[in-house]
Amino acid sequence: MTAAPSPRCERVVELSADELRARLPEAVRVYVTAMGYPTWATQQRIPIWSAHMSRAGWRCVVAFNDRDEVSGVGYGYSGATGQWWHEQVRRGMLERLPQQRAHEWLDDYFELTELHVHPDTQGHGLGESILRTLLASAPGAKVLLSTPEGPTRAWRLYRRLGFVDVLRDYRFSGDPRPFAVLGRDLPLEA
């Protein structure tokens, strides 16, 4: 008896907020699975993702496999004063960087909020395709993101695409894990 072949990515497309809402539980499950979180986290994250859809500059890119299932998702929006992530990162930057450098990073940036690929389809360039599509017309002069510290496929992708360290071993309120904040200028080169 042979195992069924893994689904293949068929298309990577930008979705509107309404289109993502129609697939939101499925997209959030990709995030939960990729991050190794418990399944109950899906219901916790749906309202957060929904709220993000109303932010200025919001964009989303989704990968669908040959079964029309979500196999990867990425989204972000314009970072701004008053947003939780912005304020957390601002605090960390002001503790560790010269004030002028912190302002340079936090002035006119796109926050790459989520980028996740289902484990069954990782390692074939799907994350890079989603990221490049998402950032192709992202607003802002720079892009910033946070990712857990450690050698992962995500780290290799970000380094390959020219992301540099902004903060290392940073701890966000409510999460004991160390994170890195990475950034780079936009646009990405071809």
CA 109 to chain centroid: 14
Cα–Cα distance measured from residue 185 to residue 187, given in angstroms and rounded to the nearest whole number:
6
34: Cβ contacts below 8 Å, ≥ 6 apart:
116, 117, 118, 119, 122
Burial tier of 64 (Cβ tally within 10 Å: 0-12, 13-18, 19+): middle
* Length of the chain in terms of residues written: 190
Which residue is it, tokens 């979500």? Answer: 70
**Which amino acid, residue 85?**
W
Q: Which residues have a catalytic role annotated?
A: 158
**Which amino acid, residue 98?**
P
Q: Give the torsion sign (CA, 44, 110, 184, 82).
A: negative
Cα–Cα distance measured from residue 57 to residue 78, given in angstroms and rounded to the nearest whole number:
5
